[in-house]
Amino acid sequence: MQGLLREHCALTQQGDGVFERSCDKTWWGHGALFGGYVQAVALSAMTRALGVAAQAPQSMTMHFMRPFQDGEFRAETTVERVGRNMSNVSARLYSAGKLAGLALASFGVWREFNEFRSLAPPTEAPVGRGEAPVVTSLGVPTHDHFDMYPRIGTFSRGGGDAHVGGWVAPRDLGPIDHLAIPVVADLWIPAAYHRWSEPSPAVSVDITTHFRSPLPRADVPPSGPVFVDLRTAGSIGGFVDEDVDIWSASGDLLAQSRQMRFVHAV
C-alpha cells in the first residue's frame, strides 16, 4: 500500500547521493512545510542513499536553519559509514536553493538482546465506537490527514498543563512506518501552547526521533490509531522543549521524539 505520505516522500535521483522533489502545500504547517514532513522526506532520501535493506532507521536528528517552503526540495546525502550492524548517513537539505537543514541518521539491524521495558504504556480509554474526533480551527493543512481524540488535556490552545496527548488515527497516510513516525510525533498542538496565556508561535530548531520498534507492524494498521503523549519541562530563555512518546494500541512503544523550539515574541 503506497499511501499519500509515501507518494509525497518520493524523490528523483539527480546524481550520486543527490535527490530532489517538488513539494506543494499538502503537508503545510504555519507558513512553511510541516517539520515532521520535512523529516520524513529527508529520511526517505537517506534511506535510498544507504540502500541496505537489512538495516532500518534507529535514530534521526535534524536541525532546521530556515523555513522549508513549497517548491524545490533538494537533499545532498553522504553515506558516512556502512557496517554489518550499523550505518550512518548525513544530509544537507535545501529549500528554494538555500541551505535550510542538516540531518544525521543511524541505521541498524533489529535484534533482541538484553531487552526490558520500564516505561509504562498509557492507560487512557481507547477510541469509542462512534466517537467523533475533535474539530480543529488552527488552519494547519497537515491536520486534515488525521483524526485526533484527546485523552490528556485538549487539542486546543490554552487552559491546561504542559502534558497533553491522545489517540491519532491517520485518514489516508498509508502504512504507519518510519516515514510516518516523524509526522505523527510533530502533529499534536505543542504542549507549551496549553500553558501560555498569550499565543506565541514556536518553530522547530532541532528534532531527534528514536525508532523503538520495527515498522510497519501487522498490529498497527494504516488507520491506527496510535497514542501520542507529549510533555514539556519548561519554556526558558526564548526556547521551549518537548518530549513525545508514540504507542501502539496494544501498548508497545513505537518511537520517542525530542525537540527544541524557538519562541517568537508576539
> 117 forms bridges with which residues in the sheet?
none
Cα 215 to Cα 246: distance, rounded to the nearest angstrom: 13
Cα 27 to Cα 17: distance, rounded to the nearest angstrom: 24
The answer to whether 239 touches 261, Cβ cutoff 8 Å, is yes
Domain extent listing, the chain: 3-110+139-263
Mean pLDDT score across all residues of the chain: 94
* Residue 30's pLDDT band (cuts 50, 70, 90): confident
**Structure confidence at residue 1 (pLDDT):** 45
**Structure confidence at residue 253 (pLDDT):** 97
* Residue 170's pLDDT band (cuts 50, 70, 90): very high
Strand 226-231, strand 202-211: pairing: unpaired
List the one residue out of 34, 20, 39, 37 whose CA is nearest residue 209. Answer: 39
User: What percent of the chain clears pLDDT 70, i.e. is strictly above it?
Assistant: 98
**Structure confidence at residue 199 (pLDDT):** 74
Q: What is the pTM of this model?
A: 0.95
State mean pLDDT over 248-261.
Answer: 97
The 3-class SS string of the chain reads CCHHHHHHHCCEEEECCEEEEEECCCCECCCCECHHHHHHHHHHHHHHHHCCCCCEEEEEEEEECCCCCCEEEEEEEEEEEECCCEEEEEEEEEECCEEEEEEEEEEECCCCCCCCCCCCCCCCCCCCCCCCCCCCCCCCHHHHHEEEEEEECCCCCCCCCCEEEEEEEECCCCCCCCCHHHHHHCCCCCHHHHCCCCCCCEEEEEEEEEECCCCCCCCCCCCCCEEEEEECCCEECCEEEEEEEEECCCCCEEEEEEEEEEECCC
Model pLDDT for residues 203-233, shown as the tens digit of each residue: 999 999 999 999 999 999 998 899 999 999 9
> 13 forms bridges with which residues in the sheet?
19
Model pLDDT for residues 100-133, shown as the tens digit of each residue: 999 999 999 999 889 998 999 999 999 999 999 9
Cα maximum dimension of the chain = 51
- Topology classification of domain 3-110+139-263: Porin (2.40.160)
